[in-house]
Structure 1
Amino acid sequence: MDMYLVGGAVRDKWLGRSGGDRDHVVVGASPEAMQRLGYRPVGKDFPVFLHPETHEEYALARTERKSGHGYRGFTVYAAPDVTLEQDLARRDLTINAMAEDQAGRLIDPYGGMTDLHDRLLRHVSPAFVEDPVRLLRVARFAARFAPWGFKVAPETMALLQDMVRQGEVDHLVPERVWAETRKALTEARPSVFLQVMHETGALSVLFPEVAALYGVPQRPESHPEIDCGRHLELAMDMAAQLHPGDDLVGYCVLGHDLGKALTPPTDWPRHPDHGQRGLAPLQALSERLRVPHAHASLASIVCRDHLLAHQAETLPAAQVLQLLIRLDAFKRPERLESFLGACEADFRGRLGWEQRPYPQADILRRACQAASAIVARDLDLSGLSGPAIGEALLSAREQAIAAGQLKLDES
């Protein structure tokens, strides 16, 4: 048998990136032979084994033949007679279809190194169109490698657009859409994920609530980029910059302005009450993609209340307290931090606003600290019982927030 390092590990080595998974392909082996060598089987759909010491993945070389719709609609053939070139041919992009033998020699039958040099994301073969998940993956890779200057090759973009026209993406299951989207939210430039999805037409199919933002204008004095879709792209990139790898903040930003797509054109470029308007489309998006409850619930608060955060310097203490209660900030302070991260990304995710300070975040943090310092045991609750005790605690916390605001004003 022969073993090869394949895929992302080879690609990233030549890009100078490190830290990714190391996957291997084994040619000329059977499952029984792998187990005799101590490899532990873990694959469900095809033979995959874990190395007995490194625990890296080793998959038997295989081919795939389209047999139905969706990403599960494939018949897999894995046997000792499958060659390395056949295994690499089933992969999505040429830059992911390179291998190295155990001596470190590069094997590149489909021109991946040339495309790596030219910064192109190009499909390996026409069979690319058979798996709709690949559309999402290409958009995600475009977001990841945008800082290196990578673009989707024109012929690959044409294939992606054809996949949408043929309805192949209609067969994507929600779990796979969310899994790829969640990863895209952690990439360096999630805006590029949206741009590729928009250009292919898939955004309107999979994320119609987001696609509806493109072409909707905003007031230029507060949004110099004007277009709501462009603002969303800028805000998502800002979220990735401020909170790298945080898909919770990323999802909150993705859904924060959906209400602007529902503003009557007669109100343009203003968007009164867009936070409240956005709750219904955000809920529809979260339910359709089966987004985790933690993401969906916090995104709803960001959607409704991000304008309150922007007004923190003038917000009455009572409103600040209610906002903190909605966030459950006294018990889960990390929720406040994620909320503030999304709000700052929205504020600074505007053309020319990238370097503006966001003191509102510290104002709300101090308010939370002041209110959290007030506990029931420190209050005079004599003569009170039941709900009255809770009301007294809330009143004391509101006074603590107000006192902190007064000190801030005096300073």
Structure 2
Amino acid sequence: MLTCRPTELLGTSWVLLAGLLVPLQQAAEILEPLTSKVAAVGSPVLLPGLGNITQVYSMQWEYLNGTSSHTILQYYRGSHSPAIHASYTGRAVFHPSNGSLLLEGVQESDSGIYKATVNMGDRESLKILLEVLKPVSRPQLRSSALKAQAAGEVLCEVAEGRVDTITWKKDGQPLPPDRGFLLSSSRSVLYLRSAKKSDCGSYSCNASNGISWEETSLNVTVAGLSPPLQDVLRIAVVAVVFAAVSAGGLIIPICQSEKLRIRGELWRWLSAYTCGLVCIASILAGTAGGLWMREEGPSVAIILPEIALTYIMVVTFLVSTTVTFQPTNLTQLKSKAEEGCTDFMDVTILTVSTAAVSALPLLAIFLCYHTTQGRLKERDTRWADMERSFEMSQRSSKDALSTH
């Protein structure tokens, strides 16, 4: 049978009680109130003490780094100055009247928990969480090339400083938080899944942390036509003008009367020039169709006219070389209208200049034709006058013979 003496039971109880007090003491330290302070890099920071400490025996400031601690200074009542650790000499100033600690020129490495303990035995303490931050730099805004009915994005990036929040605005009005997506702590992207006219405007990106904020704006436009499609439009306009001029060269002679119709050498030049314009217009229209499909993808509505234009190119080239031309049915190119907020491209000057240049040879041919027709008419008139005078002389001769 086991027996225990009272003294042994008392000793065992003290051991158990001490074992219970250690975790309770650690939990109490964890649950101590924690004050937070935020400071900018390079600025001074005042860490408040526990108030009036003129009646206290000692005080200590520590820097806690995880499970380890580093003593900053120790102060004892009656001493002239505190004992400051070598790494804090020249940048730590202690105020004995209230126990506060002033840190000069703090850096990001100074971030952490600072603990002030009064009277080591009583362990009255205060913990302060210090965050040392760099001010955020001005955000950089970039936008992808946006065109109507296509996906695009606006990117906001902050080069320096820890960023806590990034918010977006459009024309000064906040956008819903779900519109912007954080790619990282310093990058946010705003997706425009199907760009349209209402997406045009001024977008602002605001980046902030505990000590600063910066904002940048960018004007975003949605192009109705991309630069390659604008080139397609220019080429198509020139092709249509050439086709219209060549149509004029075909229709005007056909509409003339049989007596005034162009014939001979002028007809050959007119046929060759008109046929050449049709060939060039077909080449330009085919090029515009190819560029269009490269941007928008293959389409039956473009492929079938491309085949027809290829045939027209070959035929008109062969006809122009042999200076024989038969009128062909011409097709007009339909342009695609896109929704956008940019001004539609003005092609008036291009149309007028192309029409003027291409019509000059045609005008020269018709001028030459009318000059020739005037000469022929004058010659015919002269011959008619000669015939009338001859007939009149014949009649007068007959009359004279009849009287005799």
The TM tier, using the shorter chain, reads under 0.3
Rg (Cα) greater in structure: 2
Higher RCO, Cα 8 Å, sep 6+:
2
Question: Hey, which of these two has a bigger chunk of helix by percent?
Answer: 1
Question: Hey, which of these two has a bigger chunk of strand by percent?
Answer: 2
Could you tell me the TM-score, scaled by structure 2's length? 0.20
